[in-house]
Amino acid sequence: MSPLNPILDNIPTTPGKFKPEKSPLHFLHHRLRLHTTLPKLTLVFLAFIFLFFFLSPPSPTAPRRTLRSTSWENHVKSSAKPRSRAAPIVLVTGAAGFVGSHAAVALKRRGNGVVGLDNFNPYYDVSLKKARKLQLLDRAGVFIVEGDINDAVLLRKLFGLVKFSHVLHLAAQAGVRYAMVNPNSYVESNVDGFVNLLEVAKSVNPQPVIVWASSSSVYGLNSKVPFSEKDRTDQPASLYAATKKAGEEIAHSYNHIYGLSITGLRFFTVYGPWGRPDMAYFFFTRDILKRRPISIYEGAGHVTVARDFTYIDDVVKGCLAAIDTAKKSTGSGGKKKGEAQFRIINLGNTSPVSVNKLVSILEKLLKVKAKKKVVLMPRNGDVPFTHANVTLARKELGYRPTTDLETGLGKFVKWYLEFYDGKKKSSW
Q: CATH number of the domain at 200, please.
A: 3.40.50.720
Q: What is the DSSP letter of 170?
A: -
Q: Answer yes or no: is 380 within a domain.
A: no
CA-closest candidate to residue 264, choices 338, 317, 212, 222: 212
Catalytic machinery residues: 240
Q: What percent of the chain has pLDDT over 70?
A: 82
CA-closest candidate to residue 207, choices 77, 338, 339, 330: 330
**pLDDT band, residue 26 (cuts 50/70/90):** very low
Are the CB atoms for 360 and 402 separated by under 8 Å? no
CA-closest candidate to residue 169, choices 275, 92, 263, 248: 92
Q: Answer yes or no: is 32 within a domain.
A: no
pTM: 0.83
Q: Answer yes or no: is 33 within a domain.
A: no
Helix (H, G, I), strand (E, B) or coil at 346: strand
Neighbours of 253 (CB within 10 A): 12
Asked if residue 57 has pLDDT above 60, the reply is: no
Neighbours of 46 (CB within 10 A): 15
CA-closest candidate to residue 215, choices 245, 239, 187, 237: 245
Q: Answer yes or no: is 254 within a domain.
A: yes
Q: Answer yes or no: is 242 within a domain.
A: yes
Q: Answer yes or no: is 326 within a domain.
A: yes
Mean pLDDT, range 332-361, rounded to an integer? 95
Q: Answer yes or no: is 248 within a domain.
A: yes
User: What is the count of structural domains for the chain?
Assistant: 1
Q: Answer yes or no: is 334 within a domain.
A: yes
Host domain of residue 391:
172-268+310-348+386-401
Give pLDDT, residue 365: 98
pLDDT by residue (tens digit) across 60-85?
333 334 334 579 999 999 999 999 99
Lowest average pLDDT, out of 113-127, 320-334, 378-392, goes to 378-392
